[in-house]
């Protein structure tokens, strides 16, 4: 009888989550478009093979990897530093906690539009850099600087979320450990290196995994900044943006599904590698 109470949830998950996942996996082996569903054709692994022959997909994968490698370490380092600051006995730490967290609750689209104004040729950033003799440029229209500018925006807008998680981790560390270390003559750096960092490893693992998943799934910032085409010259084209364009602009649903599952396996492999690395560190 009790199973009947779980039936609505099971049906909802089956219809809106598990079912679409299996259907997308099925479509990844089809040449399929919603404009002509009767013309669907089984193509085996052709969609997956096509990905590696597709120059724009390889560019999107490269951009996404660069974005992840640039954002994740900076994001995690700054989040830890901010958490240490707001966890100390400084004055006004409640204000700083709110100030650092505020960008996280701001709409990504609003943040993207704000950065478009800040980084345009006559924007505030160029006015500031002009004080040091640096010539003005349209950052998001420059092939070299478009992606790094979006990376800066991503770090600024999401670091507060991870700061809060680190803050919770810091407050779970028993004070006894620090008191014992002080009695043994450990300075602040030694306490941080031998107590804080090891005790934060589960938190760091969680943050790194979430950060990598977030960076590999980046879409909205790229869509708003580039107008949806990944420009200039594909400099801001990411895997999810390319997937979206293939699915909903070119209507190649089979190919888009194959890209989605490729991205899923990339994230899964990265997560397993990190789990092994952090697991071994914990046993040390």
pLDDT level of residue 282 (50, 70, 90 thresholds): low
How many C-alpha atoms does 220 have within 13 Å on its Cβ side? 11
Over the stretch 12-34, which tens digit does the pLDDT of each residue have?
999 999 999 999 999 999 998 88
Mean pLDDT confidence for 105-111: 86
Give the residue-averaged pLDDT of 163-177: 91
Residues 6+ apart with CB under 8 A from 34: 251, 253
CA distance 41 to 33: 10
Residue 52 pLDDT > 50:
yes
**Torsion angle of alpha carbons 70, 74, 75, 79, nearest 10°?**
180
Residues 176-218: tens digit of each pLDDT: 999 999 999 889 899 999 999 999 999 998 999 999 999 999 9
The model's pTM is: 0.88
- C-alpha pair distances (Å), 165 with each of 210, 249, 253: 11, 38, 37
30/43 Cα distance (integer angstroms): 5
pLDDT tens per residue across span 234-271:
999 999 999 999 999 999 999 999 999 999 999 999 88
Contact partners, residue 125, CB within 8 Å, separation at least 6: 118, 119, 139
Other CB atoms within 10 Å distance of the CB of residue 114: 15
Higher pLDDT, residue 281 or 99: 99
Find the mean pLDDT for residues 61-86. Answer: 93
Task: Tell me which DSSP letter residue 135 carries.
Answer: P
Between 19 and 98, residue with greater pLDDT: 19
**Rounded mean pLDDT, 80-92:** 87
Would you say residue 48 has pLDDT above 90? yes
Range of lowest pLDDT (50-59, 206-215, 247-256, 273-282): 273-282
pLDDT at 98: 84
- pLDDT of 67 > 50? The answer is yes
Confidence of residue 146 (pLDDT cuts 50, 70, 90): very high
Rounded CA gap, 181 and 62, in Å? Answer: 45
259, 48 in Cβ contact below 8 A? no
Residue 62 pLDDT more than 70? yes
């Amino acid at each position: 009888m009790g199973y009947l109470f779980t039936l609505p949830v099971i049906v909802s998950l089956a219809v809106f989550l598990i079912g679409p996942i299996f259907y997308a996996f099925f479509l990844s082996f089809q040449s399929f478009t919603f404009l002509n569903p009767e013309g669907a054709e089984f193509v085996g692994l052709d969609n997956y093979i096509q990905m590696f022959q597709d120059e724009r997909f390889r560019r999107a994968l490269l951009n996404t990897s660069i974005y992840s490698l640039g954002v994740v370490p900076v994001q995690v380092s700054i989040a830890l530093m901010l958490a240490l600051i707001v966890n100390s006995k400084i004055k006004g730490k409640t204000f700083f906690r709110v100030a650092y967290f505020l960008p996280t609750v701001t709409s990504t689209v609003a943040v993207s539009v704000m950065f478009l104004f800040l980084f345009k040729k006559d924007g505030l950033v160029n006015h500031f850099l002009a004080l040091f003799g640096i010539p003005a440029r349209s950052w998001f229209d420059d092939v070299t600087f478009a992606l790094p500018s979006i990376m800066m925006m991503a770090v600024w807008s999401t670091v507060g979320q991870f700061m809060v998680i680190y803050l919770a981790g810091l407050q779970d560390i028993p004070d006894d450990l620090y008191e014992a270390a002080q009695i043994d003559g450990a300075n602040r750096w030694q306490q941080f290196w031998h107590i804080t960092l090891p005790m934060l490893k589960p938190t760091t693992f969680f943050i790194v995994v979430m950060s990598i998943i977030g960076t590999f799934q980046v879409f909205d910032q790229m869509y708003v900044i580039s107008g949806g085409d990944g420009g200039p010259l594909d400099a801001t084209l990411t895997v999810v943006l390319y997937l979206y364009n293939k699915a909903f602009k070119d209507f190649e649903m089979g190919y888009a599904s194959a890209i989605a599952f490729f991205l899923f396996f990339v994230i899964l492999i990265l997560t397993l590698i990190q789990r092994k690395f952090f697991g071994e560190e914990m046993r040390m």
